[in-house]
Amino acid sequence: MKDRTAAVFFDVAGTLIRVRHGVGAQYARLAARFGVAAEPSALEREFPRAFHAAPPMAFPGAPAEAIPGHEREVWRGIVRDVFAGAGHWTAFAPGAFDAYFEAVYRHFADAAVWEVFPDVVPALSALRALGCSLGIVSNFDSRVLGILQGLSLAPWFASVTLSSQVGATKPDEAIFERALARHGAEAARAFHVGDSPVEDCEGARAAGLRAILIDRGGRHVARHDLVRVVSLESLADVIRDTG
């Protein structure tokens, strides 16, 4: 297997981990401390829209020391837009949103807020047994490094390639090329696994990798052009059979 598949890369949020109880519930619980009674389901509904409308988590040319501040500002805009879209923006007292956002940003850096999908560790173990080198390619911000450590996932991965550090977000080919270079791997002998048909699958394929869509919720059954799995339990078999 080592001669056939050099590396397998993974997306993080939605692929390896998820927010406990959902983003909306977490946002609403913290908002209550600031006197804002927000409906969790409304916040949950608005989050994907605000997230996808936000500027990319990439800052080409920015010095390394400036990147955490840029990441924070992107997230500030996302959280603001979630509450605005849900109709709760005006519920914050003057100046209260600033304090709320700081609390939220720290909150989501805590690994305890996240949970690992139950199929992840068995899948990673099976891939290791096949001789695969494992890495991460993510549009997450740099807080993910501590989260992976806290969830005991970091030791599984030889590399973590983040858009904010590379200056390019998925589906840009550049982020995948950087990940391949870190492993000394050829694109044709590598896979990328993620939950987004565009960012993960189309982006990886454009860079020459083979892509696998993890579709636990069955939202993409019509994507017959993609290799799709509903659980990572079958991932090693898929890679062994097509690697």
Domain boundaries, the chain: 7-16+117-242, 21-112
**7-16+117-242 shares its CATH topology with 21-112:** no
Q: b/e map of 98-125 (b: 16 or more CB within 10 Å)?
A: eebbeebbeebbebebbeebebbbebbe
Strand partners of residue 192? 9, 211
**Dihedral over Cα of 185, 189, 195, 198: its sign:** positive
DSSP state of 195: S
Tell which residue, 104, 124, 107, 106, has the closest CA to residue 12.
Answer: 124
Percent above pLDDT 70 for the chain: 98
Instruction: Give me the mean pLDDT over the 43-64 stretch.
Output: 97
Q: How far apart are CA 61 and CA 119, in angstroms?
A: 38
Whether the pLDDT of residue 229 is over 80: the answer is yes
Residue 24 CB neighbours (<10 A):
21
Residue 77: band (very low, low, confident or very high) from pLDDT cuts 50, 70, 90: very high
Which phi and psi (to 5°) does residue 114 adopt?
-110, 160
Asked whether 74 and 169 are in contact (CB, 8 A), the reply is: no
- Say whether 115 sits in a helix, a strand or coil: strand
Protein fold of 21-112: DNA polymerase; domain 1 (1.10.150)
Stated pTM of the model? 0.94
Q: How far apart are CA 67 and CA 190, in angstroms?
A: 29
Instruction: Give me the mean pLDDT over the 169-179 stretch.
Output: 97
Residue 97 CB neighbours (<10 A):
20
Residue 5: band (very low, low, confident or very high) from pLDDT cuts 50, 70, 90: low
Q: How far apart are CA 162 and CA 228, in angstroms?
A: 24
Q: How far apart are CA 15 and CA 8, in angstroms?
A: 13
Is domain 7-16+117-242 given the CATH code 3.90.1150.10 in the classification? Answer: no
Q: How far apart are CA 124 and CA 171, in angstroms?
A: 23
